[in-house]
Amino acid sequence: MIEVSGWTAEPVDGIREVLRAARAEDGRPEVDPAGPLPREFAGGLHLVAHRSGEPAGYLHLDLDGDAHGHQVAELIVHPAHRRHGVGTALAGALVERAAAGFRVWAHGDHPGAAALAAKLGLARARELMVLHADAESAEWPEPVLRGGIRLRAFVPGQDEEAVIAVNARAFDWHPEQGALTVAELRAEERLAWFDPAGFFLAEDDRQRVLGFHWTKVHDPVAGRFGGDPIGEVYVVGVDPDTQGGGLGKALTLAGLRYLRSRGLRQVILYVEGDNAPALAVYRKLGFTRFEIDVQYGQ
């Protein structure tokens, strides 16, 4: 029997259990055993489904929505309770509660998610591609910097406002990234994975920040990439006034070489499926498609 609890504004018991079980099976989401929930589950509303008295699924609804005004949901079913109607029950609750035009993520583009979306009359609205590169065999040359630009590491407590200003300009088109705030960046700095040495800033001779490459290292997950830790090209942002001079590529190479210097053999990144220029750049750097995340919407 499946029981769906009422929506709550605060996380409740069972959420972390579902998320950690999903990570062990799917490699995502990344969940701190004792710290705060990942940023995508912050705020908004929470809903937990139980099956036979055990936490079986979790639904999060971001009421603020993305930059285009769509409320965005994350729906995760515990691996031990999949194919038993838990996802259908949570999806029904989502349709009843969410505002018109909502979006919901399906990580990994599973056929089951596609079938459920079809039942609900939802169509593919966005594709986020996960690309992968073998760091041991990829050719990542020394970055070339022009016009007096230099690279340095991010300094916590000093560089947040400059990075957020560039981020907002670089990603004013992006549904999520462009809305990143100084407070959210500082919250990320408190997480165990944050590494300022792997957060590269590009600045000119007047010490103005023109771009950045924020790298990330994921803890190993059994069965995913051979159980090795995974590096990520987390965010690369360049001020639009500076684009076209090769700074984005230079920042990307600096981060990739740093990840490899840490002994990481696998690197991933996320890129919009319709961003042809970015896909072309990453393919030249040795990246190939690994997975696709799909956002379904009304």
Which domains are seen in the chain, by residue range?
A: 2-121 (3.40.630.30), 132-293 (3.40.630.30)
- Would you list which residues are annotated within the binding site? 75-77, 83-88, 176, 216, 232, 236-238, 243-249, 270
pLDDT at residue 223 in the model = 61
Instruction: Give residue 35's pLDDT.
Output: 74
252 and 211 Cβ atoms separated by less than 8 Å? no
Cβ of 69: how many Cβ atoms within 10 Å? 10
Extract the annotated binding site for acetyl-CoA.
75-77, 83-88, 236-238, 243-249
Q: Which residues of 259-271 are buried (b: 16+ CB within 10 A; e: fewer)?
A: bbeeebbbbbbeb
Query: What is the mean pLDDT of the segment spanning 13-17?
Result: 93
pLDDT band at 222 (very low <50, low <70, confident <90, very high): low
CA dihedral 87, 91, 92, 93 (to 10 degrees): 110
Strands 103-106 and 288-297: antiparallel
**Which pLDDT tens digit goes with each residue over 95-135?**
999 999 999 999 888 888 899 999 889 999 999 999 999 99
Residue with tokens 């890129």: 271
Number of neighbours of residue 151 by Cβ within 10 angstroms: 18
Asked whether the predicted pLDDT for residue 182 surpasses 90, the reply is yes
Query: For the residues 33-59, what does the mean pLDDT come to?
Result: 91
